[in-house]
Amino acid sequence: MRPLFGNETFGEIKLSSTDLRDFFRFRGWQEVPAAMEDGLFLLTNPTCPNRQLVFPIDASAPIMQMQ
């Protein structure tokens, strides 16, 4: 595990997908309800129109790799 701040390292942090969604909603991201039909949380931010956050609703879903 690589250090995050200076020489500090942190153990694995587990968050539920709903906790992650709630955190980003608090930070100004908006949920796109249509993505839920596909089992995904899709969040957009009006201050960053070209960025999206996408992650599965179900914690047991396979992790998507970015290409």
For 53-63, write each residue's pLDDT tens digit: 999 988 666 65
- Compute the distance between CA of residue 59 and CA of residue 24 in angstroms, rounded to an integer: 17
Query: Whole-prediction pTM value?
Result: 0.69
The pLDDT of residue 67 is: 46
Instruction: Look up residue 51 and give its two tokens.
Output: 């960025």
- For residue 29, how many other CB atoms are within 10 A of its CB? 21
pLDDT at 27 over 70: yes
